[in-house]
Structure 1
């Protein structure tokens, strides 16, 4: 029988290792505690009136009611002829009925001829049904007509091919509710209700900064001790994929004054700031040196691997000004930064944007191979999902497992396997909760 290790499960099983340097201190926060604190300050952004052209993906902040009936008039669902059905009760290929064509009605016409017995109007899809007509004969059921006469080869059913006034929505009907995510179909519904603009939560504007004097722009030739800045590209792409608007600043050196001035400049232009690097206890941890003294910021370890050092809070508000942007200070190693983003930042950004559904979907999958997990730390193992469905299997995406520096291996990950903090060994066949990274999240 496979063992099940659901996220947050409390049962310990064999192969436990003694506490070691990888274990989190006993006073560290749990993942759930840290996430709750982050979400408490990430309150939804104030709704703004937004044009339909700019509304895709935003969260609606008002109910939308139809201004008129939809459709607003009886109209044809086919290209053909508007007719009086009584004229055609016995029409067939063997007994064709010829009608006089008295009008030619295109979509958008304001004409409204009144049909007398024996008369028809040629009509296009969407054109208003003329007075006296009670059915539409598709052109395929006629001899395709002439300028003045049309011969009908099949009797129409009652009210055939007529779209009735208000059959989609009546005036005053609610067509969208607050909290709806404005996908293309919902924007179309708002437009059909007569709205050209909507009250919606804006997409958060998010500045993305990597810190470290060792970082160089990808493509530049690094000297000894330098590495390409991958984090700012990683996190900016993750911000965009979460539905927010990334403003990638790139890498800044380990200089407190430079970082402090940059943050002060950004504070009035963005809703959130995501920093990576400089949050631990090293001599050059510039992010912590600049932000930790602020009463609005919190730093401390979280019982997770990778991603133990975390910081979050807000930039201080000016005199009588609104709250400053939410700040996320993430570890500098790429896997740690990405896992931290998925676990904490992505849900917070979705909350800022007004979403009710904050988290990625999960599946249950079995381990295709075994691996170790550190004691007293919830592990987030980047994995590849080999099969989906009832028999999903996963294996670590990188040969080095969840090593926080394995950014190349991270590129193969399609999920994060969640190992509870009281489990220290995963064996082949064990069942795990897996967060899907490449599955669109539809509210």
Structure 2
């Protein structure tokens, strides 16, 4: 998959999802449409658009054509959640959709925009233990499994071997902090020439969900589905660490350094240019380094963890692409055969993973000898299946709680506008919970 962080999803998705729930009627039954063995064409919408991505998808479904010669698959590239939800709301959906936005699973399921796949899974006796626990979690909402996983992303620490100067990659937050300071090189005026590690959440993938949960054990929502940032000491510990290291660099210095950086997904990325010694990033960076900076010698290791949680080292943040069958799909049974094949067939997943440089999303595919990925990719395979890996929960209004938390960090906490952290987090809790209540969650 192209790296498209779901933190960029806007509130407009929430509005569309709510409208979908109100206007499109009930969910199609599992028995709807022609039988799977009848001649038919199914339309599949997906978000990939680059030529190599489109080819990877075509290669992955070659086996499906051989198994089901009666089913013609029409692939439609470059589709996002807004287009998907508008089509469902308008009563003219495709037969299968994939999305890069796991945080929208709550919206998809609660509105019945995507069908509950449980009847299909039970009918064909599909064992959900094919998928790691974190993956099982992010493909359902309150017991409604309206999606299945289609490849995955996870996160780990990249270390530039030349800039590390013989130091081993850190395993704990205290080691990371000490190395970040030791490896940082400043210009004569105190500004940053080479950063050991950038603590600001405005640095690409250094967002709270990639660090606060996996490293500090933060729990994003309570068992009742409500924010409780103020009461969870892990959030306080994470924020104090982040701000402490940011202040060591100097807030203005960090802003200046970040403003001087290249684009995340271009060859000007500062890690690829030797401007950052250590960075948390997704598995796709191995492909970018291979293509854009082949001379950079680097290592990948799991994300460092809070020293008090050293026994959880090896996990990380996990997310991925999801796939499902829209309400109103006209070829539901054939669509299920397609979804089942693409999400459970080891050869299809390995072919897809090799083509995109992503993590295959089943345990058998993770162990396949046919995976053809660089040595540094092994870290991501290990993180993906590690029981300490985690994701963020889905809600009825998507990633709104993440967006609000990030805004609090970026606009108030990092600039030093918060004088009382507990009170600030209590105010954030209220904003998040008011929004959830308004959305009907």
TM range (shorter): under 0.3
Q: What TM-score comes out, normalization by structure 2 length?
A: 0.24
Q: Which has the higher strand share?
A: 1
